[in-house]
Structure 1
Amino acid sequence: MRDNLTRAAKHFGVTVSGQPVFGWLDRSISVAVRKGGADRWLRVVSEDPKWVHLDFWKGNRDSNNIIDIPKPIVLASFEWDEHRRQRAELMTRLPGRPCSSTDVLRTDIPLSSQWWSQLRRALSVLSRTPTGRVNVDQNKVDQRVHAAFGEHVNIKVEQWETAHGDLHWGNLFRPRLGIVDWEHWGRAPAGTDAATLYCYSLLAPSTARALHDVFADVLDSPAGQVAQLYVIARLSHRARRGEHPDLVEPLANHARSLLGDPGQPMPGP
């Protein structure tokens, strides 16, 4: 991956100015760079060629069509084959820093009322953005929910909207709001982004309460509760693979409260 980054930097004629950051499962590597006196961000992702026809492969580039949201713009890209398919993207760089070094927020952080207001507005704008891209469909919702809660639990998604699809705390910037990593954006159950961020906040109760206050009308609606069950099922699937094990119990407790049976044990992996 470091060799990929070196190759991409040479291709774009940029100078590395920071320390590389590895993405989920080390399938991507990114670093701050400079070109012509301007700060930029360089990302290289590696993937099995059989998957590169899917929406996620060009999600960052496709997100250039999203307007009026604080996010990076892909300025240039190129691909090559070396063991796997490699894709390099040179992007604008957002000011500030990620809210967390991990997906899960484990310590409460101070966020201004303006930051929360901007996040609410950004997700509202995004939800109305037309796209043919798909983040998740009803079949995937069914698979995740049945795997997490059992075949007897069925949820029908009645409302769909455009979502970021992976809105965790590592993809949000502060003190000025910024939203990064647009690989997976597309149509999803209404409320998916607020539900995802809320579930990733369960270990930071003050921040979780602040988030709920901002998105109460979304999270407490029937559509929002459906979205939360899907998100809990998705994150539980990841937990069974060894990710964020400290979220397992909070997610299970939250699922019980949504399903209306706080004393019912949740199915095992």
Structure 2
Amino acid sequence: MVSSPIFSRADDLDKYVDLASVPRHRFIHNHPFTMRLRKAVAFDYVMVSGLDIDNFRFGTGQSIDTDFPPAFIESYYDEKFHLSDPFIERAKLSEGVVIESDVLKGVELNSRLAYLLDAFNIKNRLLFPIRRGNEMYGCVGFSRTVPFEADEIDFLGAIAQSTHTAVTRPLMERFAASALRLSSGEMICLKLASMGLTSEQIAQESGYQVDTVNTYIKNATRKVGATNRTQAIAEAIRRHLID
């Protein structure tokens, strides 16, 4: 579980020894991907939530990269609006884009939440769920003062997964393997297996016994939630554990 909600720059990871020591709320400062994205569709704020690692699911709000005002985020989570905001509650059940204006039709917001949103000029929120199979583990959200057009929403939806990957990649590359408790031997065997090597060939390359190679791959397969070697390789690549 990540530490208390203290803001840190999202690209400032050198001082953290493991995932547990990384602040759960991280500030995106001139992120190159989101800066380019803004040139395609203008938006005021962006938020990327969730990591594809056990215990970092969207509903817990345990991992957030954002350029929303830090004072807003701290108040929002300190006052636990992530547990009661109807916009977020709808997102947990949705398979597609969640548009704030649609959610709030006929709904009266908590007066304190409405005050915070207005005070920080956070309007017209959009949220795109990010899923692995049938499970939502994260989201990408945007807001701006002027409502988004339909074609802009379509574009942001098409790029949402890539946005999530680009923003969370540094954290995943540094800490995902340790969070999943993959050993160095398991990582080596997965890497060699991804090159198309058989267990015998992996043993020759790595210096491990064939039985050890098979054990490592079996353990790695279980840890990444796969059912066979091929799925484990695909899952490790998708999670950015190996190239």
Provide TM-score, normalisation by structure 1.
Answer: 0.27
Provide TM-score, normalisation by structure 2.
Answer: 0.29
Q: Which has the higher helix share?
A: 2
